[in-house]
Chains A and B, each alone.
Chain A
Amino acid sequence: MNTIVLMTILLLLAMTIIGGKKGFRSFIALFLNFSVMIILLFFMNIQSMNAIVLTLIACVVIACINLFFINEITTTTKAAFLSTLLTTSILLLVILAVSDLALIHGFGEEETEELGAFSPLIGISFMQLAISVIIMSTIGAITDAAIAIASPMREMYIHHPTSSRKELFQFGLLIGRDIIGTSTNTLFFAFIGNYLALMIWFKDLSYSIGDIVNSKIFSSEFITICCATIGVILVIPITAAIAAQFFVRKSSDRK
């Protein structure tokens, strides 16, 4: 049997046994996200399309799947959704500035030989693709953090309906600070795991520190990790502020 098929079945079993109906739904969400990714790739192939715009549209769809499909459409998920989109847009500005300066797009000289048989003149902007990689690698983590902050804020508001907007915002920040360490770690280790071979390669070929930090492969990886982590941190105050607005406004409507 194919390894991927076996692993997929194992994951499906584990998620359904432990998570029940919701676990099964989460598995379907994973599958849907994979489909979004494939559809995104199809559209990126069209020369006249802007890859960054396509990525932003994909992010909206992914945020919908992760928030509204796995959970339900509630004030909490709506607040998390809006925070995800706002964070992604702000992050995009940072990424645009850095990638224009640092020239990290395309393939490194180390890859030239391996890709020698390919025609590189494909008419698709690799600068845009590089930006889209950074946004896509962090979108999962941003929605995760947004919902992780918005949910306890809702609980807090239910238990203390008299809390002011500012108190709720402060509470959101407090929750955010609790998860900041683990979310930064999650991304850090995921990237390290992905690029372990590259690091061993640098060490084996005894690259100097200067060679490593200036090489396209390392710097694009480093900038991706940093930008992804910046996104996960920025989402904390943004979600705290938006969720506070959402919850407190709702109660004043009721009066």
Chain B
Amino acid sequence: MNFLTKRLLDMSLSKKLFWLVLICCVIASFLFVHNNYAFYDDTIVAVTATKIVDEQTVTDRHDNMDKLFTQYVSAVVKNGSAQGDTIRLTNNYSKSQAFDEPYKVGDELFVTLTSSDAKKMSATITGVKRDKYLLLVAWILAIVLLLVGKKQGFSSLLTLLVNAVILSFALDLYITQSNQSLLWISAGCIILFTILSLLFVNGRNKKTAAAIIATLLGTFSSLLITYLALTVTSGKGLRYEELQFITRPYEIVFMAGLFIGALGAVMDVAITMSTSMFSLYDKDPTMSIKALKKSGLEIGKDIMGTMTNVLFFAYVSGSIPMLILYFKNTLPFGYTLSVNLSLEIVRALAGGLGIVLTIPLGLYSALFFIKRQRAKL
């Protein structure tokens, strides 16, 4: 406790003010999402009691054992004309919970009233109110980022927000101006994302300039190679039917996603390369270009392996539940993998190419700036 008070006293006034404002924001936003029922058109109910009334063991046609439950749920209506009334709902769920879930006291649900007769109200459950949990996780992320990252944490938080806003605007532009190609829009986005993120994270200097050039060259060249590879093989082995939620030409959407997905990793490599090249040069400005090149390449080799893995896991992991569902429905192994993983694997491979190509690109663009600086001296 002493330590805490000391920390608090040591803090500058502006810092104290910052945390105070932040805490106010947290409290205000929590108060809002816990009381925003009036903003929803759908009826919301809060669960007050639950009771399992039926339970049976079932075996499906693939010999999978499961259990089915029937649950009575009592809930209070939170908005609309029936506000304050108690309602009884029936919920069926399975033990594996693929499409359903049990409800517990405190959960808030969206329902459609099927009969609004005050005596015998009935309704069907249409969804769960999850906004408060999203807010909770977002605040945990923001606070951990600020506590660990301090100033840099704050700027990365800003970068994330700005990038999300740009993306949203770009997609709006794409939806409303259907004659604009998604690829051009995402190319524009990528240039904006790169410049803004690297400037925010690293400040205005030569290192950033070198990293921006390397990122753009790396992303566009890996995209070009992927595009050529897709054209040469005419996309054989790719199962686009797995690309869910598709309302637009799927190949373009896939390419655009591939384009944006690798960007973060490529930026990461580019900035690591240029920062370490410049710090080598700053330590010993007499270092020969050849020696610089060699050290830079060593650093590149060090980060290559882990970076390609970052993308691989970020892409492939999301398919786990779907893969298990396929396996358990006794679909063939090879078919299941190719339907569910082909696009993710191509994404990971294309991203990996981007990462690997950015290593020499980052090296040479940093060298270019270092040479220019040297010529001036």
Tell which of A104, A123, A214 touches B66, judged by Cβ atoms closer than 8 Å. Answer: A123
Q: A14-B357, A19-B301, A120-B325 are in contact. Are A140 and B311 (CB under 8 A)?
A: yes
A56 at the interface (CB under 8 A from B): no
| CB nearest neighbor in A for B318 | A133
Within 8 A of A (CB), among B221-258: 225-226, 229-230, 232-233, 235-238, 243-248, 250, 253-254, 256-258
Tell which of A6, A118, A222, A236 touches B134, judged by Cβ atoms closer than 8 Å. Answer: A222
Chain A residues with CB below 8 A from B201, complex form = 181-182, 185
Interface flags for B54-85 (1: CB within 8 Å of A; 0: not) read 00001011101110100000000000000000
- Shortest A230–chain B CB gap in Å is 5
Chain B: interface secondary structure?
helix
Q: Cα distance A26–B101 when bound, in Å?
A: 41
Tell which of B171, B308, B321 touches A30, judged by Cβ atoms closer than 8 Å. Answer: B308
A253 at the interface (CB under 8 A from B): no
A66 at the interface (CB under 8 A from B): yes
Stretch at the interface among B5-13, B18-26, B150-158: B150-158
Q: Cα distance A115–B136 when bound, in Å?
A: 31
Q: Cα distance A239–B356 when bound, in Å?
A: 26
Tell which of A4, A190, A201 touches B314, judged by Cβ atoms closer than 8 Å. Answer: A190
B165 at the interface (CB under 8 A from A): no
A85 at the interface (CB under 8 A from B): no
Within 8 A of A (CB), among B146-177: 148-153, 155-156, 159-160, 163, 167, 171-172, 174-175
| CB nearest neighbor in B for A223 | B137
Chain A residues with CB below 8 A from B127, complex form = 109, 214-216
Interface flags for A233-253 (1: CB within 8 Å of B; 0: not) read 110110000000000000000
Q: Cα distance A30–B79 when bound, in Å?
A: 52
B259 at the interface (CB under 8 A from A): yes
A125 at the interface (CB under 8 A from B): yes
Check A190 against B261 for contact (C-beta < 8 Å). yes
Chain A residues with CB below 8 A from B356, complex form = 11, 14-15, 18-19, 23
Q: Cα distance A133–B307 when bound, in Å?
A: 19
Chain A: interface secondary structure?
helix
Chain B residues with CB below 8 A from A7, complex form = 226, 229, 346, 349-350, 353
B267 at the interface (CB under 8 A from A): yes
Check A197 against B140 for contact (C-beta < 8 Å). no
- The 8 tightest CB contacts between A and B, nearest first, are A193-B261, A26-B305, A189-B264, A181-B201, A140-B313, A122-B328, A102-B133, A136-B317
Beyond contacts A33-B312, A189-B264: 11 other A-B pairs, Cβ-Cβ < 8 A, are A5-B237, A30-B305, A41-B327, A107-B99, A119-B62, A121-B96, A148-B306, A180-B153, A186-B311, A192-B261, A222-B137
List A residues at the B interface (Cβ < 8 Å).
Answer: 1-8, 10-11, 14-15, 18-20, 22-23, 25-26, 29-30, 33-34, 37, 41, 44-45, 47, 62, 66, 70-71, 94, 98, 101-107, 109-112, 114-115, 118-127, 129-130, 132-133, 136-141, 143-144, 147-148, 151, 173, 176-201, 203-205, 210, 213-217, 219, 222-224, 226-230, 233-234, 236-237
